Amino acid sequence: MADSARARKLSERIQQVVAQMLDTRIKDPRLGFVTVTDVRVTGDLQHADIFYTVFGDDEARAESAKALESAKGIIRSEVGKQTGIRLTPTLAFHLDAVPETAAHLDAALVEAARRDKEVAALAAAAQFAGDADPYKRADEDEDDEA
């Protein structure tokens, strides 16, 4: 079992190699503007999950996924050459959903801020349903008895 520091170093190196390969050596026309966002390597260094984002619409994402799948073998052999480890990890490409999640969270925060403003406006114009102070005080009890 490898230590986590070695797995972290290997994942950083794999990220650099894959990004360089996509930039310089992979000439597939289906490959769009791809950014490698993260690489996670298992503890035994046998498998690497590569997360990426694609600038564009759903069609560009689908085409880029096909291009990455077809270039997986070339990328894996280059990862093996440049990392120098005994067993080259298998590669799996995953579309990273971080940008979509961030956009969804931004929209939710804008909606929450709008609702907070509405509540603050209602609270500013609100009046008490009964007396302003519904509690009896000790000094009032003495006045009632006299």
Distance, C-alpha 20 to centroid of its chain: 23
Residue 143 lies in a domain: no
Residue 141 lies in a domain: no
Q: Mean per-residue pLDDT for 15-39?
A: 88
Q: Is 108 helix (H, G, I), strand (E, B) or coil?
A: helix
The sign of the torsion formed by the CA atoms of 41, 81, 68, 104 equals: positive
Residue 146 lies in a domain: no
For residues 48 and 13, the answer to whether their CB atoms sit within 8 Å is no
Tell me, yes or no, whether 76 and 119 share the same domain.
no
CATH number, residue 73: 3.30.300.20
* Range name among 3-7, 18-22, 64-68 with the lowest pLDDT average: 3-7
35 Cβ contact list (under 8 Å, min separation 6): 19, 52, 53, 54, 55
Q: Using 50, 70 and 90 to split pLDDT, how confident is the model at 114?
A: very high
Tell me, yes or no, whether 71 and 16 share the same domain.
yes
Tell me, yes or no, whether 46 and 58 share the same domain.
yes
How many domains, the chain?
2
Tell me, yes or no, whether 119 and 75 share the same domain.
no
* Domain around 108: 97-126
The more confidently predicted of residues 2 and 62 is: 62
Residue 107 lies in a domain: yes
Tell me, yes or no, whether 91 and 101 share the same domain.
no
Tell me, yes or no, whether 85 and 103 share the same domain.
no
Per-residue 3-state assignment (H helix, E strand, C coil) for 76-99: HHHHHHHHCCCCCCEEEEEECCHH
pLDDT > 60? residue 21: yes
Tell me, yes or no, whether 19 and 75 share the same domain.
yes
Residue 46 lies in a domain: yes
**What pLDDT score does 137 carry?**
76
How far does the chain reach from its first CA to its final CA, in angstroms?
Answer: 87
Tell me, yes or no, whether 112 and 66 share the same domain.
no
Of 72, 89, 92, whose CA–CA distance to 21 is shortest?
Answer: 72
**What pLDDT score does 116 carry?**
93
Tell me, yes or no, whether 74 and 29 share the same domain.
yes
| Percentage of the residues of the chain whose pLDDT score is greater than 70 | 92
For the entire predicted model, the pTM comes to 0.68
Tell me, yes or no, whether 69 and 23 share the same domain.
yes
